[in-house]
């Protein structure tokens, strides 16, 4: 066989094996069904939501089992109003709770100082978490009755005390006030008429830090120390993310028990 013939044969064999592989993979994907996959999301358009199919092929506006579907008789526009209001009401409960205001406004990071070369920062406080709000319309995971939403805080503040040693005899102490560009979170709730269940609360992003006010250093050293402190807090954003997540998760879970989906439906219908 010529060299050209060998090349053509190899390409044909490769194409055949690749087609067989794709067929097998496609069969595997069809056979793998998960009851809860966040990728299987039906987005609510601004004005309407199409009906969704449930397991037996019948159609319902929300798409989970009829016995646990308290809003199945609603028009799409009202469904959207109910589910948006349900989440908003939960977040309002958090904002209006005197106890939670003390815990969350501001939220103190761990007591242990955050150390860096030549110094450390301590008494780190995160403010603005009470402005946590829904970002855009909620979404619905088809067939499961699971509400999915994106949350955000856009005016997050950060402050801390610092100590910085330039040389053994030259030490600085002061205060740093700044802001974090944003905080974004994902929320999944299994809906029920009386008590819904929090499936997931995850802080997915904390924005970079910007300096607003800085005290304790001379004009000559202001820039260098300021950069060191800003770098330190930016390097510890994951620590902030984990702290916010661990504190807010049980708070949201508890507030969900206080907000009645049934009452929200009644208020919107009447």
Question: Hey, which residues does 203 pair with through a beta bridge?
Answer: 185
In tens, the pLDDT along 184-201 reads 999 999 887 667 899 999
pLDDT band of residue 225 (cuts 50, 70, 90) is confident
pLDDT band of residue 178 (cuts 50, 70, 90) is very high
Could you give the domains of the chain?
Answer: 57-269 (3.15.10.50)
The pLDDT of residue 58: 33
pLDDT band of residue 25 (cuts 50, 70, 90) is very low
Among 268, 245, 41, which Cα is nearest to 126's?
Answer: 245
Q: Is the pLDDT of residue 183 over 60?
A: yes
Residue 234 near residue 211, CB atoms below 8 Å: no
Angle at 258 between CA 252 and CA 261, to 5 degrees: 100
Distances (CA, A) of 116 to 113, 138, 163, 170, 219: 10, 41, 10, 17, 22
Residue 176 near residue 225, CB atoms below 8 Å: no
Q: What is the DSSP string of 37-57?
A: -TTSEEEPPSS----EE-TTS
- 3-state SS, residue 257: coil
The pLDDT of residue 52: 33
Q: Which two tokens stand for residue 151?
A: 């949350």
Residue 89 near residue 264, CB atoms below 8 Å: yes
In tens, the pLDDT along 28-37 reads 344 434 455 5
What counts of helices (H) and strands (E) characterise the chain?
6, 14
The Cα–Cα gap between 15 and 1 comes to: 20
Q: Is the pLDDT of residue 143 over 90?
A: no
Nearest-Å Rg of the Cα atoms of the chain is 26
Q: Is the pLDDT of residue 18 over 90?
A: no
pLDDT band of residue 173 (cuts 50, 70, 90) is very high
Task: Give mean pLDDT, residues 40-60.
Answer: 36
Q: Which two tokens stand for residue 110?
A: 């761990």
Q: Is the pLDDT of residue 47 over 80?
A: no
Report the 10 Å Cβ neighbour count for 16: 10
Q: What percent of the chain has pLDDT over 70?
A: 70
User: Looking at 50-59, 78-87, 197-206, 235-244, which range is the least confident one?
Assistant: 50-59
The pLDDT of residue 35: 54
Across the chain, mean pLDDT equals 77
pLDDT band of residue 154 (cuts 50, 70, 90) is confident
The pLDDT of residue 56: 34
Higher pLDDT pick, 151 / 35: 151
pTM for the model stands at: 0.72
Task: Give mean pLDDT, residues 124-146.
Answer: 88
């Amino acid at each position: 066989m010529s060299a050209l013939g060998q090349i053509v044969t190899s390409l044909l064999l490769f194409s055949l094996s690749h087609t067989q592989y794709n067929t097998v993979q496609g069969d595997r994907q069809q056979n793998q069904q998960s009851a809860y996959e966040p990728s299987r999301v039906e987005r609510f358009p601004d004005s309407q939501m199409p009906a969704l199919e449930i397991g037996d092929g019948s159609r319902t506006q929300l798409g989970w089992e009829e016995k646990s579907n308290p809003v199945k008789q609603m028009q799409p526009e009202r469904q959207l109003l109910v589910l948006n209001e349900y989440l908003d009401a939960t977040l309002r409960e958090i904002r209006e709770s005197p106890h939670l205001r003390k815990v969350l406004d501001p939220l103190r990071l761990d007591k242990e100082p955050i150390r860096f070369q030549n110094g450390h920062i301590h008494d780190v406080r995160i403010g603005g978490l009470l402005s946590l709000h829904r970002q855009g319309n909620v979404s619905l995971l088809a067939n499961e009755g699971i509400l999915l939403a994106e949350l955000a805080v856009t005016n997050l503040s950060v402050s801390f005390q610092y100590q910085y040693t330039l040389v053994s005899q030259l030490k600085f102490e002061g205060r740093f006030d700044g802001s974090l560009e944003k905080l974004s979170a994902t929320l999944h709730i299994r809906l029920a008429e009386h008590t819904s269940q929090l499936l997931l609360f995850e802080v997915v992003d904390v924005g970079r830090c910007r300096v607003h006010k800085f005290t304790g250093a001379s004009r000559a050293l202001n820039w260098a120390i300021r950069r060191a402190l800003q770098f330190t807090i930016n390097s510890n954003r994951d620590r902030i993310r984990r702290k916010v997540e661990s504190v807010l998760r049980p708070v949201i879970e508890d507030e969900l028990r206080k907000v009645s989906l049934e009452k929200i439906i009644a208020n919107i219908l009447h």
